Structure 1
């Protein structure tokens, strides 16, 4: 027991900055060298055969390679066939899957339905999975993707949960807006309760064994779940004592979902990713919960390596534009990234494993994240403009009623994209967090609409009114004629008799009927009402003109400064410089950075004096000129994890580790040109390599084949 306790202490005390998830045991081809690994599933991943290696052996294999081991599994799906087939308690439970109107179960895999989280299922998770994980010495648990499909809600299990929760018989959600709203509120509650119950049990059971168990929720963003028509508890979890943090599951697959801007429907991967990451960051920032950002060098849908690379750069740059986030899931499923076969190009049917240039770039990215600092620097641009969000964004998406539609979540994007596309770093604000002082602290103008969502409690209007009276400007956009305005809710029941949710908001702000379009002084602040649904700003060409004119004017009145428009974003994080240039802008000029940079998106990591970033492109640069002590040798950029660095006299040594069958490139700062260098394997054999020197930057370039056992490098000058 003493040995186990010491091991647990070591796991808890180590600072985790980077992690990844895998259902596999350690293998040399997937040893990506992050700080931690999330070993997936007691029984593995339903989509592979990883469960053939027992869970404890998989954990042990990663620990032996120096990784801190954590645990991840699904809360809405997983390798839980023993529950559904009756092996666990002698009863079949396939009736607990999520079922759509035509009677079909929604499946995640063979005999793996999306789950209605009943009390019995939660007891199964605790007994069969959570206990075993904690008994294996794991003190950090990730329960991912609490997902209830909006189109589901017809199973016998769901009908039973309905009767228990509401006290009256189930009602089909397709028959009325009221039934839809009630159905989705229940779906939301079921996973809110499920995670709280599982995490509370894990903490209590861990405590009984002398362990301090931490619990995290890897989840898609509210933006994505609303767009994909999935219901999840999202922001409300950030206030639960049992929840320690999140992983923002944002990647090409979510960010490439098309949206509308200027009348055109298309993929806008960078912009969507930026808003997705933003909605996750703002969800937790006021509550003090930890947040990891995820990127994926590929995606779930099979495409080609050219597509993957382009969109990986877009999402990677987007995540780095949030300066307070310095924890990252560097990838999911390295086994499919490094060992999977995908098309070589969009117009070819030939498939191959990851190209060497791309695996090199990915490893450079991972090792950049290992060192990515937080910064107090702000993203450039006119700041202080936010868009209000609520979990109820997910409640109105399916099915449609009375002919009202919201194509591609345009009522949300209509508030955000007109600003973002003009280079304004628009933020998101969660209604669920309005009770925290930090939530509106830096917001000058808040844009809101109840066209695609509704306030879930009346207290939020009190907080908004207090903020406006203190000097904030609230811009409300909406016709308030969608069919969900009339669902029986707090604003039209009990002591309230308001026709729409916004009427209660306006009354709280001191206005009287009729609540017409216009501007109203409220204390030191102002309420501006536009009687347009936000979707109108993006569904038609130049549909956002009046909206943007209003924002420009009130921003100048409030700040005595112009609302500056541009076609790029940039941020400095220590020596790293992140740049993204927007397309679809009147300004089609490239961004030109001048200085001395290492181009980290180029797998040859060249030194550049000038970097040109064209519209629709991103860049990540290492600013060599930012280095103050140029006499201290160090590795500036690398496609391997470097350890045991030692500078002594006129020499510098270190060990580099990275997956097998990948190529390492390194840019190393030295006080003088190297006159001798050795590159050897862990067994002392000479390793073939190439070496060059860049006199102007004072950096050496090394290139050789990686090894998870380590390559030893010795340099002298």
Structure 2
């Protein structure tokens, strides 16, 4: 028997009907390419300084959908950015009168001070309705709602799902409800995007989704749209809300439970950059202390595909000094391909599925260590391993970029068996190496899924297809041109062991040495060192049995240290990151900006000298170090209006470095350097 509609529900349905009626007859805008999106301009913001990595000025409007404390915090943070970069924020609705998520006791599930809304059609309408207040926006960022693992019991939710059963009663019911939660989030996304397309005054307005990656979401026991959002209609890109490595988001590795800013950021960013159309992913740096900021920032700058960046939180109402240096580096490094310095390790990845989120928060055990234990040993020994969405394996030739894959179905169960054929083809034809940890059995093996008709566990149909037996002995198995290394042990159970990283690393290294011996691998220092042009980026891990400083030979400019000092034979201690300019590699005729606390634009060189702009709005002094072929004859700094600015300069003839320090103009400062040619 249907329940009668309350007056509040009738009111919300009337709002929905009015909005839908108003959009009738309006032609749906064609999808906007990422190139068109980045090229968009707003005349009224022509003088606003850019956020490097994005071709600003570009006006974004954030449309929060969480309608709670998180959304309010997001709105306040982005509002402070708006003062500098022209970013407008659609404020969350005051008090959500629609359906909310409820736990098994019928109580609302809260995020901060407000309950999480149910991502249904009414929320999609309410989200889209906010865009009409911002008719000039070039792009709208939808702040994705999340679905709590504790939720799924409200009357409104049960009315939407077919054959609802108490999720806590069985793994099958939990799996079914969790799957529907993600489907509901994706449906909200499609409906909200379609509403925005018809409601926005500009037919070319872009739509981006701001969300976290599946591993970070799994760590917080929530479900997000995940990889499923990549196929959602009308999306022009993503804002990747990278994790905040803090005490609430700790990883257990080798028996030590703590936050790991470099590793968590590196893996999260790699997942986003492995989505289809990764050029449209904007990586949002979280609010971090200075040390953690540079750990996370170095992890991002090591990613060859990372091009677009956004700040999340500012110091007061100003962009932080660290962000200024990072902005400079982001733009400088974009033109230089990345190369591993120590050893050309095979490109390696750890498979992950959206279903990792489905199993977290359940009464049955599901630990992050089932995945992180496979990735951290490689990162800590200098291999830039990536998170690889298993959902993308069926895309033609996607796997061709990888030589080694690691996985265990202990922490997730693939949602379908579509990965098996491309994985087998990759092994047999491309000569791939698959390192597979069977791990422990679990209650989720018993869900009514694609493998359950003929098999007990989801790895069994894959292993039968490969012809190695359902439960092979630990060791190497030849599959065409490729290799499967089957290991019966559990990554989750290895994680608390003090030497667990060495166990998995020695397995990885032993397989490579068996297939192609190379003594250079043993001599490679256990650190990630990447060269991008004259820049060297180094991460020296600290969780190794033998820890040493990572030493660089020669003369370098330390980009992360205050005032960009010149250092000889620098050393990076364990647990630290470093970014340096190799001065010895520069030719005598080189002219370029080595380091700056503001982004550089419009660099030009002619027979008389060089000129460039430093674009930054700050009350703090801006510093820059410029390599020149000759001693400068004249140096000037001018505002866009032509006013000459006071300028401190210092010339280092031994290394041909010009140091500049000045208070910048309101928006951008033009630097002109005339050479003094030798007689």
Tell whether the 8 Å contact from 1:520 to 1:527 is kept in structure 2 after alignment: yes
Aligned partners of 1:714 and 1:544: how far apart in 2? 52
- Is 1:450 the counterpart of 2:388 in the alignment? no
Tell whether the 8 Å contact from 1:655 to 1:710 is kept in structure 2 after alignment: yes
Per the alignment, residue 377 of structure 1 pairs with: 338
- Displacement of 1:602 in angstroms is 1.7
- Is 1:268 the counterpart of 2:260 in the alignment? yes
- Displacement of 1:141 in angstroms is 2.5
- CA, structure 1 residues 514+672, in 2 after alignment: closer, same or farther (shift >3 Å)? closer
Per the alignment, residue 218 of structure 1 pairs with: 210
Matches within 5 A, 1:122-141: 122-126=124-128, 128-133=129-134, 136-141=135-140
- Is 1:47 the counterpart of 2:7 in the alignment? no
Matches within 5 A, 1:169-184: 170-184=164-178
- CA, structure 1 residues 672+41, in 2 after alignment: closer, same or farther (shift >3 Å)? same
Aligned partners of 1:648 and 1:551: how far apart in 2? 52
- Displacement of 1:405 in angstroms is 4.8
Give the TM-score of the pair, scaled to structure 2. Answer: 0.82
Matches within 5 A, 1:87-98: 92-93=97-98, 96-98=99-101
Give RMSD over aligned pairs. 3.8
Matches within 5 A, 1:592-611: 592-611=551-570
Tell whether the 8 Å contact from 1:17 to 1:370 is kept in structure 2 after alignment: no
Range that drifts further, 226-235 or 583-592: 583-592
Per the alignment, residue 698 of structure 1 pairs with: 656
- Displacement of 1:461 in angstroms is 1.7
2:104 corresponds, among 101, 104, 108, to 101
2:445 corresponds, among 485, 488, 497, to 485
- CA, structure 1 residues 130+379, in 2 after alignment: closer, same or farther (shift >3 Å)? farther
2:349 corresponds, among 363, 376, 386, to 386
Superimposed CA distance per residue, residues 431-453 of structure 1 (whole angstroms, 9 cap, x where no aligned partner)? 10011234321323322211110
Per the alignment, residue 239 of structure 1 pairs with: 231
Aligned residues: 631
Tell whether the 8 Å contact from 1:16 to 1:327 is kept in structure 2 after alignment: no
- CA, structure 1 residues 670+188, in 2 after alignment: closer, same or farther (shift >3 Å)? same
Give the TM-score of the pair, scaled to structure 1. Answer: 0.78
- Displacement of 1:117 in angstroms is 1.2
Matches within 5 A, 1:110-189: 112-126=114-128, 128-133=129-134, 136-162=135-161, 166=162, 168=163, 170-189=164-183
Aligned partners of 2:248 and 2:555: how far apart in 1? 33
Tell whether the 8 Å contact from 1:410 to 1:534 is kept in structure 2 after alignment: yes
Aligned partners of 1:646 and 1:522: how far apart in 2? 55
1:328 corresponds, among 291, 309, 313, to 309
Matches within 5 A, 1:606-625: 606-625=565-584
Tell whether the 8 Å contact from 1:476 to 1:527 is kept in structure 2 after alignment: yes
Aligned partners of 1:649 and 1:528: how far apart in 2? 60
- Is 1:338 the counterpart of 2:306 in the alignment? no
SS at match of 1:35: coil
Range that drifts further, 692-701 or 101-110: 101-110
Tell whether the 8 Å contact from 1:244 to 1:289 is kept in structure 2 after alignment: no
1:317 corresponds, among 279, 298, 316, to 298
Per the alignment, residue 5 of structure 2 pairs with: none
- CA, structure 1 residues 12+245, in 2 after alignment: closer, same or farther (shift >3 Å)? closer
Tell whether the 8 Å contact from 2:212 to 2:243 is kept in structure 1 after alignment: no
- CA, structure 1 residues 38+615, in 2 after alignment: closer, same or farther (shift >3 Å)? farther
Aligned partners of 2:227 and 2:482: how far apart in 1? 27
Per the alignment, residue 198 of structure 1 pairs with: 192
Aligned partners of 1:386 and 1:138: how far apart in 2? 38
Aligned partners of 1:32 and 1:384: how far apart in 2? 31
Tell whether the 8 Å contact from 1:419 to 1:426 is kept in structure 2 after alignment: yes
Tell whether the 8 Å contact from 1:691 to 1:701 is kept in structure 2 after alignment: yes
- CA, structure 1 residues 310+235, in 2 after alignment: closer, same or farther (shift >3 Å)? same
Matches within 5 A, 1:50-61: none
- Is 1:536 the counterpart of 2:493 in the alignment? yes
Superimposed CA distance per residue, residues 227-258 of structure 1 (whole angstroms, 9 cap, x where no aligned partner)? 12111121222234533322332254479832
- Displacement of 1:626 in angstroms is 4.7
Aligned partners of 2:457 and 2:34: how far apart in 1? 52
SS at match of 1:338: coil
- Displacement of 1:668 in angstroms is 2.3
Aligned partners of 2:607 and 2:461: how far apart in 1? 73
Matches within 5 A, 1:294-443: 294-296=284-286, 298-299=287-288, 308-329=289-310, 331-334=311-314, 337-339=315-317, 359-380=320-341, 381=343, 382-401=345-364, 404-406=365-367, 409-443=368-402
